[in-house]
Amino acid sequence: MGIHQYIKSLSSLETLVRAPGIFKYQKHSVAEHSFKVAQIAQFLGDVEENSGQTINWQSLYEKALNHDYNERFIGDIKTPVKYATPKLRAMLADVEDSLSESFVNTEIPSEFRTAYRRRLSEGKDSTLEGKILSVADKIDLLYESFGEIQKGNPELTYEEIYKESLTTIVKFKSMASVQYFLNEVLPDLLREKFSDQEKLEEITQHIVG
């Protein structure tokens, strides 16, 4: 038991590769994804603040940084589970929660348990910070899938991930930060050099509307 175990465990997130079982040109570890999501959330927070919202920055950074720590326990298994029903997904979430709760009780000293229980619980709630996390997580996933499409990866999964990410982002389009992303960032991304440009623009048009 102890914080040494926690610090050591961060290395597991460096070892876990995202989208296991699917060929990729560029690997991303869960640790790298967490870093990028925190960076993206930080920017989305800037936009919200500039548009007049009040951001609880502690909560925003905390949510973003810790949102995938639990993958340490069962790995990144959501992506390939394409045949899964909602019921199966719920079962997997339960497994994850049980493992996480067990970890906090076993490894984290009692004076820090409240903080880690909060950090390792689901951060994508209905607060502004929870919504920014939902969006930032999908923006990084969109960039990761785009990176593969742009490099010529023939796995159709990446197109599906692109669609699924963008569809989720668009659901939050009442947010100033999402509007900024759709109007200022996404067009630049689509102007990048790659061969499926037209197809991806069409898909994007269809989703963004």
Minimum CB–partner distance for residue 19 and its own copies (Å) = 9
Cα distances (Å, whole numbers) of residue 12 to 7, 56, 74: 10, 29, 11
Task: Between 26 and 174, name the residue whose CB sits nearer to its own copies.
Answer: 26
Q: Which among 134, 171, 172, 176 has a CA at the least distance from the CA of 48?
A: 176
Task: Between 131 and 177, name the residue whose CB sits nearer to its own copies.
Answer: 177
Query: Is residue 80 within 8 Å of residue 22, measured between CB atoms?
Result: yes
Task: Between 90 and 206, name the residue whose CB sits nearer to its own copies.
Answer: 90
Minimum CB–partner distance for residue 16 and its own copies (Å) = 5
8-state DSSP, 21: T
Neighbours of 115 (CB within 10 A): 12
Strand partners for 207? none
Which amino acid type is present at position 157? T
Task: Between 4 and 52, name the residue whose CB sits nearer to its own copies.
Answer: 4
Minimum CB–partner distance for residue 21 and its own copies (Å) = 4
Sign of torsion, CA 37 38 43 46? positive
Minimum CB–partner distance for residue 204 and its own copies (Å) = 14
